[in-house]
Amino acid sequence: MLILTREEVQQLLDPHELINALEEGFKALSAGQMNVPPRNQLASQKGVLLDMPAYMPGRHMSVKLVSIFHENKNIPSHQAVIALVNSETGTPLALMDGTYITGLRTAASTLISIQLLARKNIKEVAIIGAGVQGGAHLRMIGTLSGVEKIWVTSMDMAEARALTARDSRALLADSVQQAVSNADVLCLCTSSPTPVIAAGWLKKGVHISSVGYNPPGGELPRSIIENSQLFVESKRAFEPPPSGSAELQGLSPEAGTELGEVLLKVRPGRRSDEETTVYKSMGHAMEDLVAANLVYEKALEMKIGKVVEL
């Protein structure tokens, strides 16, 4: 069995290859070509442990174990490992760090939503939240051409200040409202159990990506969801947590369009420059599967990692 550390995963996972693999994964998901059971949750007094299995034809099966402990200090609130199993024989193939994969695949999916749904020629982006997800989003947003300013803010302004040092276009916003009011694209990357933005702050035609998860609440106001064009990874986002999103409870699954449906051109994306588009991400096991398979194949090619006998 191949063991891959976080440092090795970082070396092996190419962002551009990841985006291409995710687009194919979103298409397969919307075309009904994947087997992805609902994720399960095991709770302790301090946090939760989720399991996220997935199978896609032509790929090795995967399962991610991800813990969410919002009170953590000096270590990530989300930590994960991913196992790969041979889809033909059931043989365990690899165990790798999933914390880095979770951050980058989530940000890469946001980037896909921006490319599909944001207005053309966006100039300013705001990132709300400067933790692991904020950092991953800054890295992926940095690959977009034409972006002139990336506003960053967080409850922890020291973290936000440190994040701005990673990109010459990044600017520290004095408040969430300042960041939001300037943004053509808004990336919510917090663990807030309550909304962090208000509808009156938004520019006309803004695209919003929300990746936060903290049920029974969340970072995205319901009023914004109900007055926007809504997009999701999967219609499972409308199920109760932990499988679905707390912010989408009570809405019909028909209220949302899957990214894969837009990529397959079976449903429209943005319809005008004036409307607000919202991508509410739950994090999907498909994303872990395609990322982990990329890492594994590259590790074999480059002979990276440690092989152990079970």
108-284 CATH fold: Rossmann fold (3.40.50)
Q: Spell out the residues 6+ positions from residue 206 whose beta carbon is closer than 8 angstroms to its own.
A: 183, 184, 185, 186, 276, 277
Q: Spell out the residues 6+ positions from residue 8 whose beta carbon is closer than 8 angstroms to its own.
A: 96, 97, 299, 304, 305
What is the model's pTM? Answer: 0.95
- The CATH-assigned architecture of domain 2-101+286-307 is 2-Layer Sandwich (3.30)
The domains of the chain are located at 2-101+286-307, 108-284
Q: Give the model's pLDDT for residue 178.
A: 96
Q: Helix 99-117 to helix 285-302 angle, to the nearest 10 degrees? A: 120
Length of the chain as a residue count: 310
User: Could you list the mean pLDDT of each consecutive 10-residue stretch along the chain, which spans 310 residues?
Assistant: 98 97 98 96 96 97 96 90 98 97 97 97 96 95 94 94 96 96 97 96 98 95 97 97 95 97 98 97 97 98 96
